[in-house]
C-alpha cells in the first residue's frame, strides 16, 4: 500500500515492523520433546457458544483446541436487512473474513475462503424467503496458533499456513451455521464440514448432499477415503451444533 | 345515520409496547420511565458501574514464560469484558531509527525562536505515545467511522499527555551479534555484561533506535460509548508489554566506505536491519504512577411528566410536582442506546488511583452540570480507578 491512510494513526512511516531472528543459539535446545502425533483430530476439543454479541442479529463463537493447534473464531450475522436499490426476489449473502490478532493470512487467501463459504451458504440459506434483503456475515479469526513450538524455515512455514487455512474452514462453517441459526434465519439444513489432508468437504442432509468442496495441494490420496473422514467429522460437528442449540433453548 | 354509526365503531385503543420496543422508538421516554423508578434501562442504579472482567497477556508471544510463541508478534495484550461489550487489545511493535537532527543541533539562527517555543513543550517531548487503531465491529465494511477515528486520536493524545510512556523506556539498547569460532552466533548486550571487556564504550554505536508501539483495539458487541473501555483495556495491555531485545550484526555495526567516481566522493554506509531477539525480552518501563483509568458520567434531568405513578396516590403526587424545580441526577458508566442517545451532558474523567487526575472533559448539552455533580463524579472516578487498578496481576 503506497497511499498513506490519513484516517488512522499508523505511526511514523519510517518505522519498520519488528523482525525476529530465525536462528539464535538459545532456541533449539528445548523442543525435542514436543513431538505430537500429527493430525490427531479425534483429540480435538470443541466449544461452541451463541448469542453473546449484542449489536448483531446472531453470533457464535467456536473454539477448537487439539494437542497441536488452538483456534478461536467469532461469527456475527447482521440481517436480514433491507438493501438499497431495486427489488430482488432473493436475499443476498455476503461473507467477510477478518484477520484477528495474529495477522496471519493475506487478504487474497481470506477472499478465496469467503467466496467458497458464500457458495456454500447461498445453497444452504433459504434465500427465497428474504426478498430485497441482505444478510451480512462477518467471521473474525480471533486467534489461531500452533501450540507445538518449533521454529521453521520459511519454506515449511508457508506450507503450514496454507494447510492451516483449510483446517479452519470447517470451523468457519460451523460458526456461521450457528450464528445464522441464532439470528433465526431459515436454513435448508445445518451445514457442516470436515477436513482431511487439506481437502474440505461440506455436507448437508446427514451427509447425503455435498454443498462445498475445497482442495489445497494436489496430494493424490484416495478421494473417497477423504470423503469418509470428512463425513465422520461432519457428523461429530453437527451433533455438537445441535446439542449447543438445544441447550441454549432451555 | 350512516356517518354516525361509522363514528361509533371507531375505538381508540392505547397502544402499549414491550419495553424493548419502546426503548427503540422513544429512547428518551424509556430512559425517563426507568429513572423515575430509581433504576436505569440497563437495570443498574444511578451510580452503579458495570463489572469488568479482564484477561491479561494471554495472547502475546510471552504469554507462556517457559515457551515463547515464535510466530506471534504481539508484545502485550488484554481482553476486557464489561457488561456485554468485549474489547480486545493487542500491542505490537516496530523499530524506528532516530535521526540525529534534533532541534538543539541546528545552527540556524532563525530556529532560535522555534526552539524557545518548543522548550515549553520539552517535558511532553520526553514522552511518547502508542498508535492505536480502533475497530468497532458493527456489521459494516469500508472506511473507518468517525467514532473510530476520534477514539483513536483521543487515546493517542491522552497517553502522551498523561506522561505514561517515557521516551527513555522505548530506547533500544541494541546488542551485537558476533560469530564464534565454531560457526555459532552469540549476542552480547552491553548492559548485561559484568566484566569490562566489552563495555558500552567498546560497543558504542553511532546509530540509535527506538521502539514504536502500535495498539489494535477491537470492540465487539458495542452497546454504548466505548472510549472508557478502550482506554482501560489499553492501560492493562500496556502494563503487560514486554519489549524484545534487539541486536545488529557486528560486521555491520559501523561500516563506512568512501567511494570516488568521476572526481566526486561519497560515503556509503552499509544498510543493515536491526533484528529482534527470539527469546530475550525486557519489560516496558512505564510510569506506573501515571497509569489512569477512565470513567464517564452523564447528567440527566428527571422529567416530571414521564414519571410512573402509583395509581393509588397519583392525585396527591400530581400536586407535589413543581415544574420549575427540575431534579437532575448523575449517572455513572453510560451504557445502552437509550442513555447514549438521550444524555448529552457528560463528564469523562481519567483518574490515577492515587487521586491524581489526568483528564477531565465536560460536555454541556441540555442538563446543567453543577459543581456538586463534578465533585461527586471526581470522587466516584477515584474509587473506580482504585478498584480497577487492583485488577492487574500477571
pLDDT tens digit sequence for B119-129? 666 788 889 99
Instruction: Name chain B contacts of A20, Cβ cutoff 8 Å.
Output: 70, 73, 244, 275-278
User: Do B100 and B112 touch, CB atoms closer than 8 A?
Assistant: no
Arithmetic mean of pLDDT, B75-95:
92
Least confident of B50-54, B70-74, B124-128, B293-297: B70-74
Share of residues in chain A with pLDDT > 70 (%): 80
**Residues of chain B neighbouring A7 (CB-CB closer than 8 A):** 143-144, 149
pLDDT band at residue B274 using 50, 70 and 90 as cut-offs: confident
| Interface probe, candidates B42, B82, B99, B139, chain A, greatest A C-beta count within 10 A | B139
DSSP string, B136-168: E-SS--SSPPHHHHHHHHHHHHHHHHTT-EEGG
**Where does chain B hold its CATH 3.30.230.70 domain(s)?**
67-109+124-172+208-241
Q: Which fold has domain B67-109+124-172+208-241?
A: Ribosomal Protein S5; domain 2 (3.30.230)
Look at residue B107 in the predicted model and tell me its pLDDT.
Answer: 52
pLDDT in tens, B337-349: 888 888 999 999 9
Predicted TM-score of the model (pTM): 0.84
Could you tell me if A107 lies within 8 Å of chain B, comparing CB atoms? no
Q: Which phi and psi (to 5°) does residue B13 adopt?
A: -95, 135
**B107-141: string of b/e by CB count within 10 Å (b at 16+)?**
eeeeeeeeeeeeeeeeeeeebbbbbbbbbbbbbee
pLDDT score of B131 = 94
Q: Which of B7-16, B20-29, B31-40, B128-137 has the lowest mean pLDDT?
A: B7-16
B95/A143 CB distance under 8 A: no
> What is the ipTM, given to two decimal places?
0.83
The nearest CA of chain A is from the CA of B222 a distance in Å of 6
B341 touches B267 (CB < 8 A): no
Partner-chain contact A19 B152, CB within 8 Å: no
| Angstrom distance (rounded) from CA B342 to CA B41 | 12
What pLDDT does residue B172 have?
Answer: 87
Q: How far is A103 from chain B (nearest CA, A)?
A: 9
Does residue A160 belong to the interface with chain B, where contact is any CB pair within 8 Å? Answer: no
> Do the chains contact at B221 and A55, CB–CB below 8 Å?
yes
Q: Among all residues of chain B, which has the CA nearest to that of A54?
A: B221
Query: Testing the interface with B: which of A3, A8, A136 to mutate, by most B Cβ within 10 A?
Result: A8
A152 has pLDDT over 60:
no
Task: Verify whether the Cβ–Cβ distance B279 to A27 is below 8 Å.
Answer: yes
Mean pLDDT, rounded, of chain A: 80
Tell me which DSSP letter residue A61 carries. E
Q: Does A138 touch chain B (CB under 8 A)?
A: yes
pLDDT of residue A22: 67
Q: Could you give the domains of chain A?
A: 36-249 (3.30.230.70)
pLDDT of the residue at A195: 86
Chain B contact for A3 (CB, 8 A cutoff): no
SS3 of B2, please? helix
Amino acid at each position: 500500500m503506497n497511499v498513506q491512510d490519513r484516517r488512522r494513526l499508523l505511526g511514523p512511516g519510517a518505522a519498520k515492523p519488528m523482525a525476529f531472528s530465525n536462528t539464535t543459539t538459545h532456541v533449539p535446545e528445548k523442543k525435542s520433546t514436543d513431538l505430537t502425533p500429527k493430525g490427531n483430530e479425534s483429540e480435538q476439543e470443541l466449544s461452541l457458544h451463541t448469542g453473546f454479541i449484542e449489536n448483531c442479529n446472531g453470533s457464535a463463537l467456536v473454539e477448537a483446541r487439539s494437542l497441536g493447534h488452538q483456534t478461536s473464531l467469532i461469527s456475527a450475522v447482521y440481517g436480514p436487512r433491507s438493501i438499497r436499490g431495486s427489488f430482488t426476489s432473493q436475499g443476498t449473502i455476503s461473507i467477510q473474513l477478518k484477520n484477528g490478532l495474529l495477522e496471519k493470512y493475506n487478504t487474497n487467501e481470506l477472499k478465496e475462503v469467503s467466496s467458497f463459504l458464500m457458495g456454500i451458504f447461498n445453497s444452504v440459506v433459504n434465500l427465497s424467503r428474504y426478498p430485497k434483503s441482505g444478510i451480512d456475515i462477518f467471521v473474525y479469526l480471533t486467534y489461531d496458533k500452533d501450540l507445538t513450538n518449533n521454529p521453521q524455515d520459511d519454506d515449511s512455514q508457508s506450507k503450514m499456513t496454507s494447510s492451516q487455512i483449510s483446517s479452519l474452514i470447517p470451523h468457519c462453517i460451523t460458526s456461521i451455521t450457528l450464528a445464522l441459526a441464532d439470528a433465526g434465519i431459515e436454513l435448508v439444513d445445518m451445514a457442516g464440514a470436515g477436513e482431511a489432508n487439506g481437502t474440505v468437504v461440506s455436507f448437508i442432509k446427514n451427509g447425503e448432499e455435498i454443498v462445498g468442496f475445497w482442495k489445497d495441494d494436489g496430494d493424490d490420496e484416495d478421494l473417497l477415503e477423504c470423503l469418509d473422514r470428512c463425513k465422520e467429522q461432519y457428523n461429530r460437528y453437527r451433533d455438537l451444533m445441535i446439542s449447543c442449540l438445544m441447550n441454549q433453548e432451555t | 345515520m350512516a356517518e354516525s354509526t361509522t363514528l361509533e365503531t371507531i375505538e381508540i385503543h392505547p397502544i402499549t409496547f414491550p419495553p424493548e420496543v419502546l426503548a427503540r422508538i422513544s429512547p428518551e421516554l424509556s430512559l425517563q420511565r426507568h429513572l423515575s423508578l430509581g433504576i436505569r434501562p440497563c437495570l443498574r442504579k444511578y451510580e452503579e458501574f458495570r463489572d469488568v472482567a479482564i484477561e491479561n497477556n494471554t495472547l502475546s508471544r510471552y504469554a507462556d514464560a517457559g515457551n515463547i510463541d515464535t510466530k506471534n508478534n504481539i508484545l502485550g495484550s488484554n481482553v476486557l469484558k464489561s457488561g456485554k461489550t468485549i474489547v480486545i487489545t493487542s500491542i505490537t511493535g516496530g523499530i524506528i531509527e532516530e535521526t540525529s537532527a534534533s532541534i538543539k543541533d541546528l545552527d540556524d539562527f532563525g530556529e532560535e525562536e522555534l526552539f524557545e517555543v518548543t522548550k515549553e513543550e520539552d517535558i511532553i517531548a520526553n514522552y511518547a505515545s502508542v498508535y492505536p487503531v480502533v475497530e468497532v465491529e458493527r456489521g459494516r465494511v469500508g472506511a473507518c467511522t468517525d467514532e473510530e477515528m476520534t477514539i483513536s486520536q483521543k487515546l493517542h493524545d491522552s497517553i502522551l499527555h498523561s506522561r505514561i510512556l517515557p521516551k527513555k523506556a522505548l530506547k533500544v539498547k541494541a546488542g551485537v551479534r558476533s560469530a564464534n569460532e565454531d560457526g555459532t552466533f552469540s549476542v552480547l548486550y552491553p548492559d548485561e555484561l559484568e566484566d569490562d571487556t566489552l563495555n558500552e564504550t567498546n560497543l558504542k554505536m553511532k546509530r540509535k533506535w527506538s521502539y514504536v508501539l502500535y495498539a489494535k483495539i477491537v470492540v465487539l458487541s458495542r452497546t454504548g460509548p466505548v472510549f472508557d473501555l478502550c482506554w482501560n483495556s489499553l492501560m492493562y495491555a500496556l502494563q503487560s508489554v514486554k519489549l524484545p531485545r534487539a541486536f545488529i550484526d557486528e560486521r555491520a555495526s559501523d561500516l563506512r566506505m568512501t567511494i570516488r567516481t568521476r572526481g566526486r566522493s561519497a560515503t556509503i554506509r552499509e544498510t543493515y536491519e536491526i533484528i529482534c531477539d527470539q527469546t530475550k525480552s525486557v519489560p516496558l518501563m512505564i510510569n506506573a504512577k501515571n497509569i489512569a483509568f477512565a470513567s464517564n458520567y452523564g447528567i440527566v434531568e428527571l422529567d416530571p411528566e414521564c414519571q410512573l405513578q402509583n395509581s393509588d396516590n397519583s392525585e396527591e403526587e400530581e400536586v407535589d410536582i413543581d415544574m420549575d424545580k427540575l431534579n437532575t441526577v448523575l449517572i455513572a458508566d453510560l451504557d445502552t442506546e437509550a442513555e447514549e442517545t438521550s444524555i448529552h451532558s457528560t463528564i469523562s474523567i481519567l483518574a490515577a488511583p492515587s487521586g491524581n487526575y489526568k483528564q477531565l472533559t465536560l460536555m454541556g448539552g441540555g442538563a446543567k452540570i453543577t459543581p456538586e455533580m463534578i465533585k461527586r463524579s471526581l470522587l466516584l472516578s477515584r474509587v473506580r480507578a482504585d478498584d480497577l487498578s487492583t485488577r492487574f496481576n500477571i
